[in-house]
Amino acid sequence: MRRCRTCGAALEAGANFCGHCGSAITITAPRIPVLSSARAPSSRNTSVVAVPSASPPARRIRPPAPASVSVRYGPTRAQPRRVRPKSRFLAAALEWAFPGLGVMYTGRFWTGALVLIGTFIATGVAVSRAMASSPNAQFEDVLTFLAWLLLAHLVWLLLRMIWAWRLASRATRLYRLYAG
């Protein structure tokens, strides 16, 4: 049974504090005997502890099995796409001149082709719907429709020009990143 160092009261098993005086319990490890024959010659006071072996003799350790080698043909990691600097002004001007051309200039050919085809299809559908109802339409209705169609095309043009501008800017940044 253990006793408190401060008041001498009996301690419970596993207690961290004395139940009588409340002082913290400090646990000290038992001293390990030092063998005089195991001293290392050194200017510092060091000691080597010999632990008697109660276990069976150690088995011989086998070296690990040789590692296998795999051969990979071709590039080991993806190569970045070859990017050239693009003019933002030219990309926006091409997009203004013809739908999708500025996007194609920035290196996204198929995206630009989809923009071109989509613009023509959307315009064709809008005009054909307007032509179908034109025999009954008044002159003011036709002018209103054309004004809205022009406004829609201008907004679409502005969006495409900003998109082409940003794509060209990105291509130039990537070029500077990989070139520098």
CA distance 173 to 178: 9
CA distance 62 to 68: 18
Tell me what pLDDT residue 78 has.
56
Q: What is the chain's alpha carbon radius of gyration, rounded to the nearest angstrom?
A: 43
Tell me what pLDDT residue 173 has.
87
CA distance 104 to 161: 12
CA distance 143 to 166: 35
What pLDDT digit, counting tens, does each position of 121-168 carry? 998 998 888 888 777 778 888 888 889 989 998 999 999 999 999 999
Terminal Cα-to-Cα distance of the chain (whole angstroms): 75
Q: What is the pTM of this model?
A: 0.49
In contact, 24 and 16? CB cutoff 8 Å: yes
What pLDDT digit, counting tens, does each position of 31-71 carry? 776 665 555 555 555 555 555 555 566 667 777 777 666 66
Tell me what pLDDT residue 135 has.
78
9 phi/psi in degrees, rounded to 5: -75, 155
